[in-house]
Amino acid sequence: MSQSSPLAGVDRARLEQAYPGIFRPSPLKRMQTVAIIAALVGLFLFGMMWLGFSFEKLATGISRLGVIINLMFPPTPGHLLPLYLKGLAETLAIALLGTMLAAVIAFPLAFIAAKNVVAQRAIHFLSRRFLDTIRGVDTLIWALIFINVVGLGPFAGILAVAMSDIGSFGKLFSEAIETADTKPIDGVTSTGGSALHQIRFGIVPQVLPVILSQVLYYFESNTRSATVIGIVGAGGIGLYLSNEISQQNWDRVAFLIIMILITVAIIDWCSSRLRFAIIGRRAVV
Amino acid sequence: MTSHIYRLPDEQTAALLSHYGSAVAAKRRRALLFAVALAVCAALAAWGGEVDLRKFVEGLPRFWSYLYDILPKLRLSHFGADFAEWFWNWDGWLWLLAETLLVAYVGTFLGATIGFTLCFFASANLMKNAVARALVRRSLEFCRTVPEIVFALLFVYALGLGPIPGVLAIAIHTVGALGKQFAEVVENIDMNPVEGVRATGGSWVEQIRFAVIPQVLSNVVSYTLLRFEINVRGASVMGFVGAGGIGKELLGSIRQFYYSDVSAILLMIIASVVAIDLLTERLRHRLLGIEGRR
């Protein structure tokens, strides 16, 4: 048996001496790994305790959840189906217009925030921090703020989605612009093109497909966030969802969730088809 | 050295030019068609979304005055006192902010652990059983598609108010999102090490431990860090539905027009999100950089 072993003819002692790291990883590195894992798990356990986690509560919660799920079947809209469909249409409208508005506003901003277009360190730094600040505020918070501006309704939702997307788009677009190939820009410069020509003919054709696919990707995810924006009163299907939950009409809740799932699946499918048509099978970063 | 420009005969140029012209025209037509379709969709959406520019223009001054109102009234002469008044409840808010971060952390940890376990069952190269694979993938999709706030609403009803429903909601959403990303990473690994471990008689778990995990670990950690940053933002609004964190305080101060509180809380949220954003970005670049050098 030992003769058929592939390591039979190898001098193990000599190998161990030549490559000590492979046979016996240094204890320091081992300790480091163990310490990191212990710290992560420790913080997790501490967090669970601090947040008041208890298995009893979880058990009663799960049994109540079981009751709720039982009551969800069969899902039914009652007589409210037209209202729900209107809410769903509003949700789609919020996602579409919010994404478009954000893209239109973020496009020029991204050129200002891109290092290779505006080579001013101060402007670069300030515009990036400005975009970070906008991005740090969740869509629901923007929705609450815009309700104060334009009142309750889907218009506030559109502005909220647009606002939080300006930050994300500004960052993503400017990164796309910064990674653009410089040779086309040099080419335009060598024929005497102005700065605007360089952008129009050197940069835009390179970044447009990437930007379009990112916009589509965000349209998908905005459909998802637009379904809940109604919880704070900014239009869409979320209003009905939170109403039915607070009135404990679980069969209607289940129907609404299924409606959301189907819509998101359809949008996903369409937009991934479109994305592949625009840029081919490339991952969106 | 002289350079020559060779000119094609006129009839050849004409053919090429007409071909070029028709190609450009076709592209223009397609772009125009796309623009028209988009415009029609936007118009329909504007109609359905009750877009009212008049309302917006009328409301816009209110937006600026709102921004002005939530800014604190700081005077240079009484800067210390004014600043203290602005952040009058800073210790209470700091605790709530810590709770928010913990909700995000615990949710991310739980979700990432479960998602990491499930991802091997969802990738085609490791899970040969198509039925089990489809089952895992569909459930991940479900976890990902239902918005976390909806889960939070349900859990608040079942478990009562408090941060635990928020943790569970974030964890479930994270399982769906990370499980999919992890599975994509696992599907792109080099299969030779796996075959090597199998050839020495390693079980399925040993194959994963010694051949798969070393290949995917840096990407897994990087995706998890990215998700943590997203979850911090998500945890900041969990309080809107009573699921813990600073969101409840923020909602209260916006609804009751405690103007300077709004800006103080927003500032704290933004500062922590930006700090975590910068920290995780640095960590991720280091991780992926080490991976690139290997």
How near does any CA of chain B get to the CA of A237, in Å?
Answer: 12
* CB spacing of B157 vs A68 below 8 angstroms: yes
pLDDT in tens, A85-108: 888 888 888 888 899 999 999 998
CA nearest neighbour of B190 among B166, B215, B170, B214: B215
> Using CA atoms, how far apart are residues B250 and B268, in angstroms rounded to an integer?
11
Given a cut of 80, whether residue A72 has pLDDT beyond it is no
B29-74 pLDDT, tens digit per residue, is 888 988 898 888 888 878 776 777 777 777 777 778 877 877 777 7
CA distance A14 to chain B (A): 23
Mean pLDDT (chain A) is: 82
Cβ within 8 Å of B, A 86-115: 86, 89-90, 92-94, 96-97, 100
Task: Compute the distance between CA of residue B35 and CA of residue B39 in angstroms, rounded to an integer.
Answer: 6
**Segments of chain B scoring below 70 in pLDDT:** 1-3, 49, 75, 289-294
For residues B108 and A207, which has the higher predicted lDDT (pLDDT)? Answer: B108
Which pLDDT score, from 0 to 100, does residue A152 have?
82
Token couple for A274: 């479109």
Test B164 with A145 for CB contact under 8 angstroms.
no
- Give the E-state strand segments of chain A in sequence order: none
| pLDDT (mean) for A156-183 | 87
Tokens of A93: 């409208």
pTM of the prediction? 0.80
The CA-atom distances, in angstroms, between A246 and each of A62, A123, A163, B105, B157 are 18, 48, 29, 28, 8
Of A48, A94, A148, the CB nearest to B62: A148
pLDDT of residue B110: 93
| Interface size between A and B, measured as CB pairs under 8 A | 167
Cβ of B34: how many Cβ atoms within 10 Å?
A: 12
* Among the partner residues B59, B105, B155, nearest to A149 by beta-carbon distance: B59
Question: Roughly what angle, to the nearest 10 degrees, separates helices A250-279 and A55-72?
Answer: 90
